[in-house]
Amino acid sequence: MPRDRSSLTLGVLVGLLVLVSVLMIAFGLPEHTLLQRRLLQLYSVPLSGALALGVMHVLGRLPQLTTATRVVLVVAAAVTVAGVLAMAVGLFTGLDALLPLGQALMWLSLGFALLYLVGQLPRRREGRTFGLRPVDDDDEDIGHDDIAAT
């Protein structure tokens, strides 16, 4: 459960963007009209918006911005804008091959930025947050016969 109002708002916005994307797929599936084809071609744009919100959220969790982080964010923003422009040119000129290229640029740049920012987050002091522990012979699953006998 989110601890503050901004996290809750972010979760609602991301959920709405994912819902818009699913609805675009649902309405575009018959592919009979140009609008339906465009809906299917562009369904990942709201998902990219959700990913961008995730980048902004993680950015707000960083204790400080280093020069390297700023460079990564500027490059990611430039590549994302280039992807949006490629999609716009593809839509307005009819060059449908630019749509997947633009989407790929957006996804790769935003995904890389998110992974980089997550790597910059401060580590927890109490140790690992996830780990596997060895299985002892005493911890083995109880068989069905043992359950019935107890």
Q: How confident is the model at residue 143 (pLDDT cuts 50, 70, 90)?
A: low
| Number of domains observed in the structure of the chain | 1
84 domain-assigned: yes
136 domain-assigned: no
150 domain-assigned: no
Average the pLDDT over 93-104 and give the result. 93
Tell me the pLDDT of the chain averaged across its residues. 86
Q: What is the pLDDT of residues 50-81, one digit of tens each?
A: 999 999 999 988 988 999 999 999 999 999 99
Q: How confident is the model at residue 25 (pLDDT cuts 50, 70, 90)?
A: very high
> What is the pTM assigned to this prediction?
0.75
Q: Find where tokens 């009209």 sit.
A: 33
128 domain-assigned: no
- 132 with 139: CB under 8 angstroms? no
CA-based end-to-end distance of the chain: 38
65 domain-assigned: yes
Helix (H) or strand (E) holding 122: none
Residue 90 domain boundaries = 5-121
